[in-house]
């Protein structure tokens, strides 16, 4: 999968979610937003929908964004869903993106979220021009905040992600240097510090910060011990969201600390009613199995391939299969084909 620098910086990992902003007009919908999204994060989608419908009765951009988030989490991954699901999702976001009722800081923040979610969607659909379009619009709103020293907790997440990923991709490939010339310089260490501060805040960005810190330290920094710290906090705070289980499970495996919680989460994924999560469960179950029987891995690979694929999961399975077969050449080639991140799970 090709990684384009704009995509990488603004939406590949910038699944930025709705947060509260200071100095806003209090409305029933605004006051309920944090509670609504907390339910969404904990995979209590029906309760979140009921709360949103009760408090957000007006046709506002705020209500539209909350509804878009409910759809996004209910139908993971949303970009692979049928048109009857995708169309309302995109229409909600585009209505916000094209809104002319801007001017307030709060409304700008809502529009920023819409830009980022649209960029994420089109990036995943490999529609690069549309993704770059909305990524650029997002940057125009983010850039002024990067120069501020005393950022609110809410903006720490935005600045932290920008600082980290600017530096990460700058160092990852020299080809990015000329493209990044036009953007404000970022500082990776400062970005990680900002994300850590945001993860300890009492705002909705705490959850997003924990998600990104778990991901960054596990898959990009190869510091599974740090990742596990954040993943524990994430799964303790939102125990019902199976999407968050992967961070805890993979960090546990990478640290050789597979415990009862790890196996319990794997079982929950495998027994999920959603095939999307079943693929993760079957993959992790195979990886922690100490049997020399390679059929276990082949069965998991076949299941993943038969249900929409998944490069990351396949790379993990082929990596483990390769170690079980003395680095079989064909499996090494498969690892190269599917590898998404420059890390492996270290469990023997």
For residue range 173-232, list pLDDT tens digits in order. 766 666 666 678 889 999 999 999 999 987 767 888 999 999 999 999 999 999 999 999
Degrees to nearest 5, angle at CA 151 with 20 and 48: 15
pLDDT for the residue 181: 63
Does position 22 have pLDDT exceeding 60, yes or no? no
Please tell me which of 167-176, 227-236, 325-334 the model is most confident about, judged by mean pLDDT: 227-236
Token pair of 86 as six digits: 């995708």
Average pLDDT taken over every residue of the chain: 86
Would 333 be classed as within a structural domain? yes
Comparison of pLDDT for 322 and 8, the residue scoring more:
322
Would 222 be classed as within a structural domain? no
Distance separating the N- and C-terminal Cα atoms of the chain: 28
CA distances 309 to 72, 278, 306, 315, Å, are 20, 12, 7, 11
Q: Which of 288, 208, 200 is nearest to 241 (CA)?
A: 208
Does position 24 have pLDDT exceeding 60, yes or no? no
Which residues constitute the domain of residue 289?
Answer: 239-348
pLDDT for the residue 342: 79
pLDDT for the residue 348: 42
- pTM for the model stands at 0.84
Cα 232 from Cα 237, distance rounded (Å): 8
Would 249 be classed as within a structural domain? yes
Q: What is the mean pLDDT of residues 255-277?
A: 96
Would 345 be classed as within a structural domain? yes
pLDDT for the residue 12: 34
pLDDT for the residue 266: 98
Cα 180 from Cα 193, distance rounded (Å): 22
Confidence of residue 25 (pLDDT cuts 50, 70, 90): low
Would 299 be classed as within a structural domain? yes
DSSP one-letter code for 78? G
Would 187 be classed as within a structural domain? no
Does position 10 have pLDDT exceeding 60, yes or no? no
Would 298 be classed as within a structural domain? yes
Instruction: Provide the angle, in degrees to the nearest 10, between the axes of the packed helices 205-215 and 245-254.
Output: 30
pLDDT for the residue 4: 35
Would 141 be classed as within a structural domain? no
Cα 61 from Cα 212, distance rounded (Å): 26
Does position 21 have pLDDT exceeding 50, yes or no? no
Total domains in the chain come to 1
Cα 35 from Cα 51, distance rounded (Å): 8
Chain centroid to CA 149: how far? Answer: 26
Task: Check: CB of residue 244 under 8 Å from CB of residue 235.
Answer: yes
Q: What is the mean pLDDT of residues 248-259?
A: 95
Token pair of 295 as six digits: 């059929």
pLDDT digits (tens, 9 = 90+) for 116-159: 999 999 988 989 899 889 988 988 888 887 877 787 777 788 88
Does position 81 have pLDDT exceeding 90, yes or no? yes
- Look at the alpha carbons of 216, 220, 226, 229 in this order and tell me if their dihedral is positive or negative: positive
Task: Check: CB of residue 109 under 8 Å from CB of residue 93.
Answer: no
Q: What is the mean pLDDT of residues 32-42?
A: 91
Does position 102 have pLDDT exceeding 60, yes or no? no
pLDDT for the residue 180: 67
Helices (H), the chain: 5-7, 28-41, 45-55, 61-74, 83-97, 105-124, 128-146, 153-172, 176-180, 188-199, 205-215, 224-237, 245-254, 260-270, 275-287, 295-306, 311-324, 329-338
Does position 285 have pLDDT exceeding 70, yes or no? yes
Please tell me which of 148-157, 175-184, 257-266, 325-334 the model is most confident about, judged by mean pLDDT: 257-266
Q: Which of 15, 205, 25 is nearest to 101 (CA)?
A: 25
Residue with tokens 């980022």: 116
Task: Check: CB of residue 261 under 8 Å from CB of residue 248.
Answer: yes
Does position 90 have pLDDT exceeding 60, yes or no? yes
């Amino acid at each position: 999968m090709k990684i384009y620098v704009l995509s990488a910086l603004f939406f590949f990992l910038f699944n930025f979610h709705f947060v509260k902003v200071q100095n806003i007009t209090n409305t029933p919908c605004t006051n309920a937003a944090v509670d609504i999204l907390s339910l969404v994060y904990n995979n209590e989608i029906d309760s979140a929908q009921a709360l949103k419908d009760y408090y957000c009765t007006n046709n506002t951009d705020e209500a539209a964004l909350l509804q878009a988030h409910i759809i996004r989490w209910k139908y993971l991954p949303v970009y692979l869903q049928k048109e009857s699901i995708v169309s309302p999702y995109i229409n909600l976001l585009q209505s916000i993106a094209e809104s002319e009722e801007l001017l307030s800081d709060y409304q700008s923040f809502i529009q920023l979220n819409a830009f980022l979610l649209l960029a994420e969607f089109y990036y995943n659909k490999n529609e690069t021009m549309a993704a770059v379009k909305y990524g650029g619009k997002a940057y125009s709103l983010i850039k002024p905040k990067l120069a501020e020293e005393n950022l609110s907790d809410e903006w720490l997440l935005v600045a932290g992600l920008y600082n980290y990923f600017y530096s990460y991709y700058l160092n990852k490939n020299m080809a990015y240097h000329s493209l990044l010339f036009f953007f404000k310089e970022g500082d990776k260490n400062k970005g990680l510090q900002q994300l850590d501060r945001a993860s300890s805040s009492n705002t909705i960005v705490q959850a997003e910060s924990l998600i990104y810190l778990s991901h960054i330290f596990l898959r990009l920094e190869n510091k599974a011990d740090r990742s596990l710290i954040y993943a524990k906090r994430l799964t303790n705070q939102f125990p019902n969201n199976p999407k968050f289980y992967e961070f805890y499970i993979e960090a546990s495996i990478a640290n050789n600390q597979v415990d009862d919680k790890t196996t319990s989460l794997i079982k929950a994924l495998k027994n999920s009613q959603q095939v999307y999560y079943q693929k993760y469960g079957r993959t992790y179950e195979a990886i922690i199995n100490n049997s020399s029987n390679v059929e276990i891995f082949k069965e998991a690979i076949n299941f993943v391939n038969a249900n929409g694929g998944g490069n990351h999961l396949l790379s993990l399975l082929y990596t483990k299969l390769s170690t079980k077969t003395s680095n079989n050449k064909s499996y090494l080639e498969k690892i190269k084909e599917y590898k998404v991140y420059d890390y492996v799970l270290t469990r023997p």
